[in-house]
Structure 1
Amino acid sequence: MKRLLIALLLAVLVIPGSIAGAANYTGEPIKAKLASEEIDGDFMTVWAEKFADHMREWSDGKIDIEVYPYGTLGALGDINELCQMGVVDFVFSDYAWISSFVPQAQVLALNYIFPTEKVPQTLDWMMDNGEFYPLLTQSFRDKGLVPMSVMFEGWQWLTTNKKIEKLEDMKGLKIRVMSSKLLVEDYKAYGAVPTPMDYGEIYSGLQMGLIDGQVNPLFAIYSMKFYEVQDYCTQLNNEPFLGIPTANAEFFNSLPENVQQEMFNFWQGSIIEAGEWIMERNASDKEKMMQERPELEFNYLDDQAISAFQKQAQTVYPKFTKIGGTGSEKILEAVLKDIEKAKKELDIQ
């Protein structure tokens, strides 16, 4: 009798959730593939899996999204192409690698346009209130893609074996950057020799001296072990690393409207939470690197040095309108306007 009562109680607790999930989506089962540009356990793959779990729960198991971490479906350029072709249904990429298909996304690669604090909150405000995101969406849709949000993954750090204290220290350094014409211009403006290279080739490139340094957020520097072959991590305060979860437009358009909306709800509703998650992760990974390699130095530039970098970065802004494709001038104007409005609303200096 006791077991029967327990079973009945469990049924009462479980069934309402199942009914709610089933009521959210009553159509045919949906299977989809999502390719992430990061390895298992890193930001994009973790949040892609959270997305898959959310949609599975919301649909009572009828929407099944399989996540493929970096390296399982090809290089970074490959997975963006696979999404555009519809071989995979989603890709979680960034403003640089997706730019081969949507050059307008490179506006997010302009250095020194974001505030140094409250970046997730700034992005969240821009998604809800700004002029930039609708313009970006149109640029993506013109190429058969749909951007679902813009996510903060922490600030980019420059790693080198030479200490960087001023702009002049960058001269002639071969620095690996992501594949983006605008990023190349950013680091050329600093006097470096920017060298696009796939993610999986960076460690050996550093080890063999093919490159002198590289740029990535802290979690990537730790998980990919770049800190093992570099002596300095320098914060230029120039570039937040931003991810863009993206859907194939044909696939996305085939989904019921409430499914589409729930996908947007997840990604845009996760901007601040994901930002807090990655800041904690980056702080933890920094501590691990300091413990595992005490000689590794984390380097912060003074205001005078930052000012010199910022002045050079601004010389690149006009180049975006030539590199960024159709509508780039309007997109640049919108993103700068949105950021200034967000700073005012959020009381950011």
Structure 2
Amino acid sequence: MNNHLTALTTGALAFVLSASAATADTWRYAHEEAASEVQGVFAQKFKEEIEANSEHTLQLFPFGTLGESADIMEQAQSGILQFVNQSPGFTGALIPEAQVFFVPYLLPQDEATLQEFFTNSKAIKEMFPALYAEQGLELLTMYPEGEVCMTTQEPVKSPADLAGVKFRVMTNPLLVESYSAFGATPTPLPWGEVYGALQTGIIQGQENPRFYLDSTKMYEVTDVITCIGHNNFTTAAMANKDFYDGLSDADKTVIANATDAAFEYILGYQSELGKTSFDNILAAKPEMEINILSEAEREPFKATAGPVEAAYIEMTGDTGEAILTQMKADLKAAEVATQ
């Protein structure tokens, strides 16, 4: 009798274990940066939370391991990847409304206001998810990566200084509009080609967050950094929509909690990283010229924001205009909340 019960118990245990193993999947997550950069750190925190609170394993693929940004987006949409992290700078060609994050001088310079906006924005939480869903994507969150600055070969004090400068931009129509308005000759290039293009003189400038100028050693192939206060780099974490919709409620909760934890962590991380980046650059290249333009010097650049905003509305129609209006309301609310 005892042997019979033992056999039944062993069989039941084996069934439970096999059922558990059947629900323990390996999920794949690709992003646009190195493992040590902001998207990589976000992904690692997300992975830690997923693996600590479920039986699932998360496999991470940093920039270059699965191709360029366009490649990993295609893989996410097709279901080869379960998760992807990509900037609206690249997603803008797929979801034109996402280009709103590249309207110059829309996002604030104040870090507290910026973080409040990303935490509570109705545009991000209520309007963008449907647009991403149309492209087979579940929008998990958007978050900032830091102030965007230019690197060039010569000093930039006004739009006139960008005249004739072949300036690399992401494959984003609104960025082309923006740098045309700044006076440059915008040149869309995949990120993997930028360092070499600067080195050989094919282009003479590019923009990126402070930390990225440091980590990718852009100072080795340019001589001047200029911050005009025009933007803060935004990125988005997404899941394949079919994959996400097929998950259990428990797994969706695990993903939501992991997203929240990674979001909260990265807000502080990217803020501190931005503060130390220029010190690192100057330590590596003391002769690097770093210019933070004054409010007066920024005015000619700010004057271009209106036409670029109008171009955004023309590209995106009523939906884009509604998102822009809501974002401005969200930003005003964030400013009030942090006063």
Report the TM-score when normalising by structure 1.
Answer: 0.87
What does the per-residue CA deviation read over 1:222-241, in whole Å, with 9 as the maximum and x for residues that have no partner? 22111111111111111100
Structure 1 partner of 2:66 = 73
Q: Which structure 1 residue ranges, 4+ long, deviate > 4 Å from structure 2? A: none
| Counterpart residue number, 1:154 | 146
Match of residue 111 from structure 1: 104
Residues 255 and 183 (structure 1), Cα distance of their counterparts in 2 relative to 1, 3 Å cut: same
- The partner residue of 1:198 within 184, 190, 197 is 190
Q: 1:346 to 1:125 in 2, by over 3 A?
A: farther
Say how many residue pairs are matched: 319
Deviations 1:46-68 (A, max 9, x none): 21111011100011xx1111110
Structure 1 letter corresponding to 2:276: S
Contact 2:88/2:235 (8 A) holds in 1: yes
Partner residue in 1 for 2:266 = 274
Corresponding residue number in structure 2 for 1:96:
89
Residue equivalent to 2:336:
344
Which sits farther off after the overlay, 112-121 or 227-236? 112-121
Q: Which residue of 2 aligns with 1:3?
A: none
SS in structure 1 of the partner of residue 304 of structure 2: helix
Q: CA-to-partner distance for each residue in 1:294-335, whole Å, 9 max, x for gaps?
A: 000110111112121111122111211232367222112111
Cα pair 1:35 1:68 within 8 Å, conserved: yes
In structure 2, the partner of 1:34 is 29
CA RMSD of the aligned region, Å? 1.8
- Contact 1:159/1:233 (<8 A) preserved: yes
- What CA distance in whole angstroms lies between the structure 2 residues aligned with 1:172 and 1:315? 20
CA contact (8 A) 2:149 2:228 kept: yes
Matched, 1:125 2:117: no
Q: Which moved more, 1:333-342 or 1:201-210?
A: 333-342
Equivalent residues in 2 for 1:149-298 (5 A)? 149-298=141-290
User: How far apart, CA to CA, are the structure 1 residues paired with 2:155 and 2:53?
Assistant: 50
Aligned to 1:49: 44
Q: TM-score, normalised by structure 2?
A: 0.89
Unaligned runs of 5+ in 1: 1-21
Instruction: Determine the C-alpha separation between the residues in 2 that align with 1:183 and 1:236.
Output: 15
Residue in 2 that maps onto 1:10: none
Q: Supply the distance in 2 between the matched residues of 1:52 and 1:272 (Cα, whole angstroms).
A: 14
How far apart are the structure 2 equivalents of 1:165 and 1:278? 27
**Do residues 330 (structure 1) and 330 (structure 2) align?**
no
Structure 1 SS opposite 2:92:
helix
**Contact 2:46/2:261, CA 8 A, preserved across alignment:** no
Query: In the TM superposition, what is the alpha-carbon distance from 1:258 to its structure 2 partner?
Result: 3.0
CA distance in structure 1 between the partners assigned to 2:219 and 2:256 by the alignment: 36
Quick check: 227-236 or 271-280, which moved more?
271-280
Q: Provide Cα deviations, 1:78-114, integer angstroms capped at 9, x if missing partner.
A: 1111111111111111011112222221111111111
Q: Is the 8 A contact 2:101 2:107 kept in 1?
A: no
Residue 242 of structure 1 deviates from its aligned partner by 0.8
Give SS of 2:36's match. Answer: coil
Q: What residue in structure 1 maps to residue 76 of structure 2?
A: 83
* Closer/same/farther in 2, CA of residues 325 and 97 from structure 1, 3 Å limit: farther
Rounded to whole Å, the distance in 2 between the matches of 1:268 and 1:316 is: 33
